[in-house]
Amino acid sequence: MSRQRVSEKLDVFRDIAQMAMEAGVFVSGKGVFYPVLRVIGLGDFRYEGDKTVWVSPDGGQVRDATGQEASELDAALERDQASLVVLARPGFGSGYKDVRPVLKVLHAASGNGWRVPAAAGD
């Protein structure tokens, strides 16, 4: 089974992630949701304009990411270790769980770096 990928190029992935976070993603039967970048061991993040924001696992708290968190997120993006996921809404929408369940994976991280086929003649 293939993994869901929105792009195989980092700059395109960043642009698509930014657009999805600003405009939202429609999930059939549930409505519009705003995805987050999830990095295992680091947490969930979203972009708000020029800022990177950390989102708590239950979705009840947000804060500006620390400089270290933003640097680690950038490094994870460079290594293709960040997934773009749509999470259930906080509270009733997630059954009041401490960690919101994933409704949809838009981009599954490979952890292998970005692999773009070489152009013909390279």
pLDDT reported for residue 25: 94
Q: What is the pLDDT along the chain (122 residues), one digit of tens a residue?
A: 467 888 888 899 999 999 999 999 999 999 999 999 999 999 999 999 889 999 999 888 999 999 999 999 999 999 999 999 999 988 887 788 888 899 999 999 987 776 654 444 44
pLDDT reported for residue 115: 61
Give me the long-range contacts of 63-69 (CB less than 8 A, separation at least 24): 69/42, 69/43, 69/45
pLDDT reported for residue 72: 95
Report CA-CA distances (Å) from 81 to 67, 96, 121: 19, 28, 30
pLDDT reported for residue 94: 78
Report CA-CA distances (Å) from 95 to 38, 70, 88, 117: 20, 30, 9, 43
Residue 94 burial class via C-beta count within 10 angstroms: exposed 0-12, middle 13-18, buried 19 and up: middle
What does pTM read for this prediction?
0.85
Site of tokens 């600003």: 22
pLDDT reported for residue 116: 54
Q: Collapse the DSSP code of 30 into the 3-class scheme (helix H, G, I; strand E, B; otherwise coil) and give the result.
A: coil
Residue type at position 73: L
